[in-house]
């Protein structure tokens, strides 16, 4: 009986160990889609690809190739997506750091970056992340519904700027460099 019991016991332990490894992969090998989405923003910067230097310029994700120096104050960037995908340019109009908007932190007058496409559902695909614009927060009364009203001034004299309701997951804070509303309020 001992001769049969010992090999069967060893075989069953080996099978159980193999079965357990196949069923549940190690937790550090799992990748969450939300992490990839945010990693895409952390590893790239936003550079102006259309209407450079204007408040209403269009931004796209770009890879930073060279930072400014004392001799040349411009960034060298290569666009990853958007209307200028693959193009390498020298520019001073960049947004180096952004963060997602959490409910309750927006204040009227804040300058934020918004997704041009404004999809209803947060699609973690990079397909709809190719065009971004700066905007000024106008109304935060519907933030509990996941919507904020933004206005898009075109210059310092535009006091009747266009307004749109944008879903909160399509809005990002501009952390570096700080941007201010271009209009001059008396």
| E strands, 24-156, in order | 45-50, 58-66, 75-79, 88-91, 94-95, 97-100, 111-115, 132-139, 147-152
**Distance in angstroms (rounded) separating the CA atoms of residues 41 and 119:** 17
**What is the pLDDT of the chain when averaged over all its residues?**
83
pTM beyond 0.85, yes or no? no
pLDDT of 3-53, one tens digit each?
677 777 667 777 766 655 444 554 555 555 556 778 888 899 999 999 998
**Domain assignment of residue 110, yes or no:** yes
**Domain assignment of residue 4, yes or no:** no
**Distance in angstroms (rounded) separating the CA atoms of residues 46 and 153:** 20
**Domain assignment of residue 16, yes or no:** no
Above 50 in pLDDT, residue 82?
yes
Domain count of the chain? 1
**Domain assignment of residue 186, yes or no:** no
**Domain assignment of residue 162, yes or no:** yes
Q: What is the 8-class DSSP label of residue 94? A: E
**Domain assignment of residue 15, yes or no:** no
Which residues constitute the domain of residue 108? Answer: 33-176
Strand partners, 79: 62
**Domain assignment of residue 164, yes or no:** yes
Instruction: Calculate what percentage of the chain has a pLDDT beyond 90.
Output: 49
pLDDT of 120-152, one tens digit each?
887 656 566 789 999 999 999 999 899 999 999
Whole-number pLDDT of residue 23? 47
**Domain assignment of residue 135, yes or no:** yes
Between 83 and 20, the more confident residue is 83
């Amino acid at each position: 009986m001992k001769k049969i019991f010992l090999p069967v016991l060893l075989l069953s332990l080996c099978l159980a160990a193999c079965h357990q490894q196949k069923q549940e992969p190690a937790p550090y090998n799992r990748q969450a889609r939300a992490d990839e989405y945010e990693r895409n923003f952390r590893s790239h910067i936003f550079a102006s690809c259309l209407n450079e230097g204007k408040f209403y310029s269009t931004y796209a994700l770009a890879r930073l190739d060279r930072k400014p120096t004392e001799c040349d104050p411009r960034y060298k960037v290569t666009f990853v997506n958007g209307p200028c995908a693959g193009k390498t340019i020298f520019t001073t109009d960049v947004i180096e750091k952004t963060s997602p908007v959490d409910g309750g932190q927006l204040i009227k007058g804040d300058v934020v970056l918004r997704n041009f496409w404004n999809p209803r559902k947060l699609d973690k695909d990079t397909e709809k992340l190719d065009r971004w614009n700066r905007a000024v927060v106008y109304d935060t009364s519907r933030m509990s519904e996941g919507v904020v009203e933004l206005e898009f001034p075109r210059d310092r004299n535009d006091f009747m700027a266009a307004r749109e309701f944008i879903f909160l997951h399509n809005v990002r804070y501009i952390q570096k460099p700080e941007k201010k509303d271009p209009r001059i309020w008396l």
